[in-house]
């Protein structure tokens, strides 16, 4: 059993914000798979069975970012998912837009959603898929920046990045984390990237 968690905030006003890029990945993936995410309790989610009989939960916590761990812990317990089979998708200020990085584990890097999950699970040992959102261009406050929509000229790259992230999730499930890291971490759509 796999649990793929996209982080974000519920509510229309957050829908296209940088902090919700994890939600965007799960929502697009569900759309591509022609499945509906149902809102129930602490999350909107769907249980999917891939062709190789791997069971996967696609999930977006509805607890707001800073309490993401509450939902992840509940679904982990309910479905008996091992920590190494939980992949958390989130935004990363320290990566430029156009970069996607998969890692086995790590600290929170100051990300409140990841901090909440580490605290709730009592471990840092769960995989992450980090999506670069870059730093503010115009001197915006960081909190305002992450809670604002992408700049107009960024959306073309965002669309491609969402597809790369979905590919990374699928490879994580079907081929394992090493294969997914090798395939995804080398891709670079950032300005000036190769």
Residue span of the structural domain in which 41 resides = 2-184
Residue 147 has pLDDT above 80, yes or no: yes
What stretches of 4-146 show up as alpha helix (H) in DSSP?
21-33, 68-79, 112-121, 142-146
Q: Which residue is associated with the tokens 């996209």?
A: 6
Quick one: tokens of 91?
């935004």
**Domain membership flag for residue 130:** yes
Any idea of the CA torsion for 17, 119, 30, 100, to the nearest 10 degrees?
A: 60
Indicate whether 29 belongs to any domain: yes
Q: How far is CA 86 from CA 75, 110, 111, in A?
A: 10, 20, 17
Sign of CA dihedral 188, 68, 105, 80: negative
Determine the pLDDT at residue 191: 77
Distance of CA 83 to the CA centre of its chain: 15
90: annotated active-site residue: no
pLDDT digits (tens, 9 = 90+) for 52-87: 789 999 999 999 999 999 999 999 999 999 999 999
Would 191 be classed as within a structural domain? Answer: no
Quick one: average pLDDT of 105-117? 93
- For residue 105, is it within any domain? yes
Please check whether residue 192 lies inside any domain of the structure: no
pTM of structure: 0.96
Domain for residue 194, yes or no? no
C-alpha neighbours within 13 Å on the C-beta side of residue 126: 29
How many folded domains does the chain comprise? 1
Let me know if residue 190 belongs to a domain: no
| Catalytic, out of 3, 5, 19, 128 | 19
Closest to 3 in 3D by CA, of 128, 116, 105, 178: 128
Q: What is the distance between the alpha carbons of residues 60 and 63, in angstroms, rounded to a whole number?
A: 9
What pLDDT is attached to residue 193?
60
- Tell me the CATH number at 134: 3.40.50.1470
Do the domain assignments include residue 96? yes
Q: Which stretches within the chain are classed as H helix?
A: 21-33, 68-79, 112-121, 142-146, 155-175, 177-184
Angstrom distance (rounded) from CA 122 to CA 165: 26
Smallest CA-to-CA distance from 153 within 167, 174, 137 is with 137
């Amino acid at each position: 059993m796999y649990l793929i968690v996209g982080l974000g905030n519920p509510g229309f006003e957050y829908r296209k914000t940088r902090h919700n890029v994890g939600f965007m990945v799960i929502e697009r993936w569900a759309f591509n798979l022609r499945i509906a995410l149902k809102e129930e309790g602490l999350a909107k989610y769907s249980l999917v069975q891939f062709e190789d009989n791997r069971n996967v939960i696609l999930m977006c916590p509805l607890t707001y970012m800073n309490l993401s761990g509450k939902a992840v812990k509940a679904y982990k317990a309910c479905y008996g998912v091992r920590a190494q089979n939980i992949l958390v998708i989130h935004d990363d200020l320290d990566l430029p837009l156009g970069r996607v990085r998969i890692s086995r584990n790590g600290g929170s890097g100051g990300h409140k959603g990841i901090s909440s999950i580490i605290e709730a699970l009592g471990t840092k040992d769960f995989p992450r898929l980090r999506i670069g959102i870059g730093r503010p261009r115009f001197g915006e406050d960081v909190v305002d920046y992450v809670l604002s929509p992408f700049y107009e000229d960024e959306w073309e790259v965002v669309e491609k990045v969402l597809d790369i992230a979905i590919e990374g999730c699928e490879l994580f499930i079907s081929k394992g984390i090493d294969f997914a890291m090798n395939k995804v971490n080398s891709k670079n759509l950032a300005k000036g990237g190769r």
